Structure 1
Amino acid sequence: MSISKKICPVPFDQQPLNEYFALKASCFFSWSTLSLDKYLIRLFIIFLFIFTVSFFLLIYTTLKTYGILKLIILNVSIATFIVLLIFIRLYLGWSYITKRLISATIFYEESGWYDGQLWIKSPEALIQDRLVAFYEVMPFLFRSKCGMIVSLIILFFEKILYSLLLI
């Protein structure tokens, strides 16, 4: 799927389509490409793991200071915040790839930071990259954006609930 060296002077690892395939194959980003049910199960497992680890840490350090209900709400807030950070990282990775695929020009480095070049994509490469961006990458970007919004809303309501328990 890579473009030949005669048509494209961009190194193999810096071509947007190859960056997309590398990101899609990576361990962290690959789980966001799963079907919706598997994606939600994986997300729940991550949340449960973070909740369990942080719960034992919080019980060990602050059980005498807080009641058990406040401790659970604080623990859920911590787990939700960490999941929010995961969604932010997913969003940043997929948005970077989307920007590189949609752009008509590609900035690349030949051997180091001091010799950057700019390559203008051919119409065929531009059409191919934009099709991949709109039909394959944008659903992952939308999924991570929705996850961020839901995490922020849940975090906001957890903060309100925690504040009400302090009264």
Structure 2
Amino acid sequence: MDVKIGRFFDSVGSFFGGGDNIPWCDRDIIAGCENEVSEAGNAENKNDSLMRLSWALVHSRQPEDVNRGIAMLEASLDRSTSPLQTREKLYLLAVGYYRNGDYTRSRQLVERCLEFAPDWRQALTLKKAVEDKIAKDGVIGIGIAATAAGLLVGGIAAVVASARKR
């Protein structure tokens, strides 16, 4: 019985905590990637460095970094040279939109990504995290709407009750 109660509280905590398995990146790593881009010699090395920088930016805790990563990836998506590179950029864009809270756009991108590799675990994990967030937001929205309706009905009832007393 104690185990079941513990699992219940863990699931409630993760529901409201919004935990996911997507890594975070800090400013030091981003700075290192920026240095790597500036020091890259040829075009191929620079492209690899830009991909690492894009990865670091969309995994940042800072919204401005995430937005910068999204902008870089969107600008470079048309210049992808292989399906693998397109898949990687779509995935990173999906992570960026997930971090920004645009779960609908993130889901669209991760589904496009899964068209390239239907069994790619990273993309499947992101898709589950996105769907969990969408479901959580829906439940919270329903709760807010129910609370608002309850307050409205309670207010009307109070007005009617006070009118009857007069």
Please report the TM-score for the alignment, with normalisation by the length of structure 1: 0.31
Name the structure, 1 or 2, with higher relative contact order (CA <8 Å, separation 6+): 1
Please report the TM-score for the alignment, with normalisation by the length of structure 2: 0.31
Q: Which has the larger radius of gyration?
A: 2
More strand by share: 1
More helix by share: 2
